[in-house]
Chain A
Amino acid sequence: MLELRDATYRYAGYANPAIHDVSLRLDDGEIVGLVGANEAGKSTICLVACGLAPASVGGGLEGSLTIDGEPMKGRPVHELAERVGIAFQDPATQRSGIAATVFEEVALGPMNLGLPARETIARVREALARLRIEDLAGRDPARLSGGQGQLVAIASLLAMRPRHIVLDEPTAQLDPEGTRLVATALRDLAAGGTALLIVEHKADLLDGLCGRVAVVAEGRIVADGPTATILADERLAGWGVEPPSRVRLARALAARGLDPAVVGAAS
């Protein structure tokens, strides 16, 4: 379980905090969506939740980050890396640039941990298998599609064997097929017990993926609850989030005097 409690984080050189009093809990195997307008503070929450802020990014954090009940304050990032990983939106910036094959790319993390080569190889094979991308092992990581590249980035995290993964807009640069690939992989990961925190603008994706959704506005969590409830909240548009197509269609039907229940029945 990963838990942020009353987290207020201020970037170095800034007077005002980017996030205020954020409390968020992520249980094992749970998929939690994080939505909000641009600049709402979602990415900052991701950085704080995985310990990169302030350990690597700098700045100041009040409140706490605990993983499985242990406080993470003051721990070096390489120690946190075995407990929580983060994937960013651009697969290209997550490539090390020094690996000739996907296998070597995924192996970089375990190698950095100082594991024996045999253990590294076993972890890479397992990570590729969990995402069903073993066939990419021999490919050049720079010559993959966006979806494949994002899966390799996630596999690189899985090889570190964290129990929690934070994904900051993992499908932002992907086409529908790439998005489908990543969504399927995330569902499988959660089924295997990995807890996922996903920042995403595509409400439709979260609608079918998450058990819970939290809304961020002006650096605060303003709503947190079951996905169906939050994504149907009338205030969602005011927070800069477009409701999923299911909700929009139901509202359009209701506005024309038709029964919106047919949407639920159809889906």
Chain B
Amino acid sequence: MARTDPKKDVVIVGLGWTGAIMGIELAQEGLDILALERGPDRATVPDFKYPNVIDELEYGIRFGFMQKPKNSTITVRRTDDEVAQPMRRLGSFLPGDGVGGAGIHWNGQTWRPMENEYRLRSYVEEEFGADAIPEDMTIQDWGVTAEELEPYFDRFEYMAGISGQAGNINGEIIEGGNPFEAPRSRDYPLPPLQQTVDAKMFAEAARAMGYHPFPRPAANASEAWTNEYGMQLGPCNFCGFCERYGCLNYSKSSPQTCILDALKRYPNFSYRVNSEVLRVDMAADGQTATGVTYWDEEAQEEVTQPADLVILAAYQLHNVHLMLLSGIGEPYDPQTGEGVTGKNYSYQMTGGTTLFFKDVEFNPFAGAGSVGMSIDDFAINQIDFGAEGFIGGSYITAGNTNGQPIRGIALPEGTPEWGAGWKQGIGEWYGHSMSIGSHGSCLAYRDCHLDLDPTYTDRHGRPLMRMTFDWKPNDIRMTQFMKGKIEEIAQSMTPDSWQSSFKDEGARYDIRPYQTTHNVGGSIMGTDPNASAVNRYLQAWGQHNVFVLGAGAFPQNIQYNPTGAVGALAYWAARAIREDYLPNPGPLV
């Protein structure tokens, strides 16, 4: 069975953060828009309402709001001589599913990249010489600057009601903020969250060592906020069920709390759920897309949906998958270095030190997704790559997001994993530990890429996408450097005991434990059609009516959580479409 529906002006693939932003921005132009979401509909009520959502097993452990591998997954290998195996269950990262996407279950850490991260290759070459870049490292410039993107970060942060403290307003350094950040045009819309005990202890220790602690920018509202679309947030109540959960309190910025109810009021916007896009359909000459074909779960049939403009706004992995399946951009070949789609897949390098304090009551259950204090004294723009022998940087941070017991209770080294010793350990140590983490860059390498798997297929018969990724010595040296800095801070805090977990030399990527849902690259932006999949406006080089949003655009990963940049790029692309593309459809570069 198959049907063809009437043509739309715009079809948007995926209704998470980027789909919702592009939806409302283009709805304001009066365009006839259809968004297609492969998962179910979701709203604060009934899906996130108290008390049902406070169920650690259902959502924190069984991943109730996440993509089901049965419906959509990838295969993974570390090197090209390994046989990739399917990711049969979730672990390392947790792509979202349903309306709101990963925008409902994130922690809300909302950063801006450093200025030099947008032009990393140029920066390294200028400051340290081209020889500082290893032969297999394929870092690139973004083709856009911090200065150009500033208004779009500002837009996203005010739309999302971010709580934080500016450190640099138009070049003036502001006490209490991040003095190393790129200049911003004004302060955050909301003041910082009140801080947890661990964050205050970390900040005090860091300050005593001469560092510059500042509040982590949070998409958890510290006060009531009404945004440009008339959507309202209420102050976060530190429920301790943020990451992996939808917000019960209308406090975490999400498509639901910040955009969707306003968007749904536009008569020219509509959306369909349980509608998985199978491919982007191409004109005979391959120069434009004609729309998309999707699977209508309710009708159990394929639907051809013609459209003048196709916006890929799914998760990074799914955008790249659709490009590979549809022939958008030449597939990347790691042997020759030619081709662009699937190039420069990258991830995030993290590590941490756990500190135990018998006499401190951390009350870990009183947490918020992005409460905490950070330092950027070892950020990517503060490190002498020549002297240290690596390219990259991290922010270092402490802040208590949750105290959910199944997800793990930190226990001192030597505590058994089961039996009487374990039971005694959880009784003694629950609520008496904190951690200091590093969240760092992960660069791009010739062999780390995405392509189509030769063996495994999905429920629609399409090849799964295959990820080739492993940790690299440069990034391990970076995280070992951070380990040294964090352990100095930890020791200065005189805990009863402490222990570290950072990747060591020779560490191999392990897909089982959760790390971060910060998968980037594969649809990278840039200035050269032979080296990037989309241009600096996120427009496909070969098909001018296809735009590809999301963190796939990052040519290598930044040292920060990606959502701030993902949101800013969505507004940046939306402006280009509204002001430049719609009056004169064609390549913007």
Q: Does B bind A?
A: no
Interface residues of B (CB under 8 A from A): none
Interface residues of A (CB under 8 A from B): none
